[in-house]
Chain A
Amino acid sequence: MKADTVVDFDVALIERARKGDAKAFERLYREHVGRVHGLCLRMTRNPDTAADCVQDAFIKAWKALPRFEARASFSTWLHRIAVNTVLEKRRGPARAEVSVEDPGEYEEPTMVFDTPVEEEELEAAIESLPQGARDALVLCGLYGYEHQEAASMLGIAVGTCKAQLHRARGLLKDRLERGVR
C-alpha cells in the first residue's frame, strides 16, 4: 500500500495531467511503467507485445483521465486498463471455458515453496503455464490483487479465478518438482 505522501504526489500529478499537462503525465508514466510492464510481460510472454500493450494502456489512461475518480487507486486503475489491453490484444475467439475441478475446501495458496527455487526457473515455470492459470497467478499471487478484483479485471467469475489459482499451484508443483504450499 502506498504511503500517504506518495498518494498525494500522484493526486497532484493526476490533477495537472487532467488539465492537459503532458509532463505531469510523463512523471506518472515513469513512476508506474515498471509495474505495468511487468504485468503485461508476464501475461503476454512476449517483450514486443508487452511494449505495445504498455503504450496502448498509457494512451488509453491519458484519454480516460477525466473519468478517473481521484480517491481510487491510480495504480489499480492503470493495471485494470493494462489487463484489458492485454485481453483485447489476444487473438482468436473468446477464451475457451476451462473445466477445472472444484477445489472444494478452498485454502488461499500462499505460493511458498518447500525449498527455495531459482528465480529464473520460477519465471520460466510461470511463463509455461496455460493462459488462464497464468493470468490468475500473476494478478493474485504476484501483484497481490484480491480474487474479486482480479476476477473483475479478467472478466471472469470469482469462483473461476480461485479455481485457476488452484490449478496454477498444482501445475507449478509439477513443473518445479517440489512442494508448493
Chain B
Amino acid sequence: MTTRRVKGIGELPRDIPPARDLWPAIAEAIQADLAMKAVPDSRRRVGWWPAVGLAASVALVAVGVFIGQNLLQPDEPQALARMQPLAPASDAGTVKASLRQAQYDNQRKQLWAEVQAKLNTMPPAEREKVGKSLAALKQSIQEIQDALGHDPANALLQELLVSTSQEEMRVLTTVRDSGRQEL
C-alpha cells in the first residue's frame, strides 16, 4: 500500500499500465482487418493461430523459469504466494526461454519418476488415494494449458497455470520425501 503524499492532482500518475497485455486481442482484430482488405479467398491470412501457440508456449517457458529456479521446500507457502505470473517473453528471449523450459520439463519428469517409485512402496489404499490427487493435478494443468492455447492473454488462466504448476511441484516433492523421519 502506497503512502506517497501529493500536493496536487497533477502529481498523480497519468500512465497506468493495464494489469495484462491487451495487445493480442488488438493484433487479432488488426489481422482480421488486414485479411479483409487483402484478397478474401484462400490467401486469407490465418497466421494468428500459430502466433497464439507460440505465445502460449513462451508463456509456459516463463512459468518454467520461475518454478525451475525456485524449487521450494514443501513448507514455504508464503514464498510460493509471492510468485507472480510473467508476461510472455520477447522474441529475442525465445531460445533462452526454450532451454529453461527444457530444464523445467526434465526436473518435472524426474520428480514424477521418483514419486512413482515412492507410490509403489505405499499400501494399496494409500497409493490409490495419493495417485488420484496427483492425476487430478496433472489433468488440471493440462486443462489450463488447453484453455491458454485459445486465450493466451487471459490473466486468470496465466495465474492458475503458475499456481497449479507450483502446487504440482510442491506436492511431488512432499510425496517423494514423505515418511522420512525428520527428528
Contact = CB atoms under 8 A, between A and B. Distances in A.
Interface stretch (A1-9, A19-27, A90-98): A19-27
B14 A35 contact: yes
A122 interface: yes
A58 B5 contact: no
Interface residues on B, range: 20 to 34
B26 interface: yes
B27 interface: yes
B17 interface: yes
B17 A141 contact: no
Interface residues of A, number: 39
A54 B8 contact: no
Q: Which 8 pairs of residues, A with B, have the shortest CB-CB distance?
A: A34-B15, A38-B16, A116-B5, A111-B9, A112-B8, A141-B9, A119-B4, A59-B29
Interface of A: 20, 22, 25-26, 29-30, 33-35, 37-39, 41, 47, 50-51, 54-55, 58-59, 62-63, 110-113, 116-120, 122-123, 126, 137, 141-144
30 contacts: A20-B37, A33-B17, A35-B14, A38-B16, A39-B14, A47-B18, A47-B19, A54-B22, A58-B26, A59-B29, A62-B29, A63-B33, A110-B8, A111-B8, A111-B10, A112-B7, A113-B7, A117-B7, A118-B2, A118-B4, A119-B12, A120-B3, A122-B9, A122-B12, A123-B12, A137-B9, A141-B10, A142-B10, A142-B14, A144-B10
